[in-house]
Structure 1
Amino acid sequence: MYTNMKNKVRKTLLIPGAATLCLGMFSCTALAGESTAVAHQAQGAVTIDGDLSEWDLSSPIEIKDESQVIRDAEHWLGETDVSSSVYLMWDEENLYLAVDAKEATPFGAVGQLAHNMEDNFKLYISTNPDADPDRTAYETNDFLVYLMMDKTNWYTAIDRSMIERENLARFSTQGMEGSDKVLQGYERTYTITDEGFIFEAVIPWANFSNDYIEAYVPTAGDTVNFDFCMTDNDYPFPNTQASVQISWSGSAESDKNPSVWGRVTFE
């Protein structure tokens, strides 16, 4: 439920094969193909105000390592240039997202380039916990969401161009051209920090459904494929020289192949 009240949640993060449980003061940086995270259910109303004092920040999804840079790595100047700590929580109606972003030149999207080249957050999510986690092609319930970082219009898009026509269920690409706002009920805000900004948002689950795709209502214990990518373009104009991308999975294949995404469990 999204209202003007606040709640606290707790986060844990586990990387299989590392035999490391991340609790308390520890956090984990993802390795491609080995990323798992926990999103806890909101126990009360959630306020979207850019203040993360209501969140448990002890175990973030860390996106800050050189190995996670998936495009224009030669232009990445380190953690203070482009990186983020990402937090998730949920209830039956909404997905909640918080990002503590470090970025030297934030909010640079100006609508002059393709969405994938301008400042954005890319949210990759499945709404089918029964799907094969090792599938190598997008299925009906796989979504790539663009949250454009322009500080004014906050335009959004959903890319479904990689899905075979017979699997689209009449849910095609939305908003990939122009500056549309395709996410209904999407609320977001930010606060500026010394090293970048805090971003907080709510995305209703209804955005991932239509007359042919049932609305997802998460249940504690569900696990779905998930990834998150941050794009930074210091000069977002035609003939731009670089557009750095850094992602949780550390894989440049996430736009086409859900098997490289991480896994999020709802608890």
Structure 2
Amino acid sequence: MYNPWNGKNDLSADIYLLWDDENLYVAARIFDDVPFVNDEEASEIWNGDCLEITLGANESADPERTFIQNGDYQIGLSPGNNKDIKPSEWIWRKDDYTGGIEVASGSFEGGYVIESRIPFKVLDDFKPQAGKAIDFNIAVDDADKDAREIQFVWSGSKNFYIDPSEWGKAIFVIP
């Protein structure tokens, strides 16, 4: 059950993406009145403070598909709990994932920062190109007690994680 949103200090975010030939970089400044509430690990990190990224790397995928298929990814980035649970990552529905994504987090007054380096090699060697558009979405999960209470999704609904037809587009540009 979700709780009502109590304004930008309860949950809001500035999110930045950057890329090079080998990695996608994600940096997010999360404004959260109760930060670092995530005692979950592995596939359960969505149930606390977390950033979720979905992207479609299969150029031939049907843009109207309503379920994730090969080449679609959902990546979770957890800031941890700033105590015994370290920042971590997870890729859902990718049984052969053995690591490679780096995650770090830190605090500031009024929230936390989470940064990540996602190697394209963990996305089955996806090759970005300037001007290329991919299906993309991002969500910010918030927990103030022991479970997720609020989720903001950039594009779509609470089903964004399984329904690529709800995703927006990200275009790789050269600065």
TM-score when scaled to structure 1? Answer: 0.58
Query: Residue 233 in 1 paired to residue 143 in 2?
Result: yes
Q: Where does 1:1-16 land on structure 2 (aligned, <5 Å)?
A: none
Distance 1:82 1:252, change over 3 A: same
Offset at 1:199? 2.2
* Separation in structure 1 between the aligned mates of residue 74 and residue 63 of structure 2, nearest angstrom: 16
Q: Distance in 1 between matches of 2:157 and 2:68?
A: 15
Q: Deviations over 1:38-87 (max 9, x none)?
A: xxxxxxxxxxxxxxxxxxxxxxxxxxxxxxxxx71x43211110111111
**Residues 72-124 of structure 1 deviation map (CA, whole Å, 9 limit, x = unaligned):** 1x432111101111111111100010111101111111128933322211111
The residue number in structure 2 matching 1:97 is 26
| Paired residues of 1:254 and 1:260 also in contact (CA < 8 A) | yes
Aligned pair 1:83/2:12, yes or no? yes
1:135 matched residue in structure 2: 65
Aligned to 1:196: 111
| 8 Å contact from structure 1 (residues 158, 173) kept in 2 | no
Q: Does the CA-based 8 Å contact 1:133-1:224 persist in structure 2?
A: no
Unaligned runs of 5+ residues in structure 1 are: 1-70, 161-170, 175-181, 210-214
* Unaligned ranges ≥5, structure 2: none
C-alpha distance in 2 between matches for 1:118 and 1:95 = 23
Distance 1:229 1:189 in 2: 18
CA RMSD of aligned residues (A): 2.2
Contact kept, 8 Å, 2:77 with 2:103, in 1: the verdict is no
1:236-251 equivalences in 2 (<5 Å)? 236=146, 243-251=149-157
Offset of residue 173 of structure 1: 7.5
Superposition map of 1:185-224 within 5 A: 186-209=101-124, 215-224=125-134
Give the Å deviation of 1:193: 2.3
Task: Report the CA distance shift for 1:208/1:135 in structure 2 as closer, same or farther (over 3 A).
Answer: same
- In structure 2, which of residues 87, 92, 95 is the aligned counterpart of residue 172 of structure 1? 95
1: CA distance, partners of 2:26 / 2:107: 17
Runs of 4+, deviation exceeding 6 Å: none
- Distance in 2 between residues matched to 1:148 and 1:199, nearest whole Å: 8
State the number of aligned residues.
169
Task: Report how far residue 131 of structure 1 moved.
Answer: 2.7
State how 1:64-83 maps to structure 2 within 5 Å: 72=2, 74-83=3-12
Task: Map 1:141-152; keep pairs closer than 5 Å.
Answer: 141-150=71-80, 151=82, 152=85
1:254 to 160, 165, 172: 160
TM-score of the superposed pair, with normalisation by structure 2: 0.85
Q: What is the rounded CA distance, in whole Å, between the counterparts of 1:86 and 1:157 in structure 2? A: 19
Deviation at residue 191 of structure 1 after TM alignment: 3.8
- 1:137–1:256: 8 Å Cα contact kept in structure 2? yes
Q: Does residue 55 of structure 2 align to residue 125 of structure 1?
A: yes
Structure having the higher Rg: 1
Percent same amino acid at aligned positions?
28
User: 2:47 & 2:104 partners in 1: Cα distance?
Assistant: 22
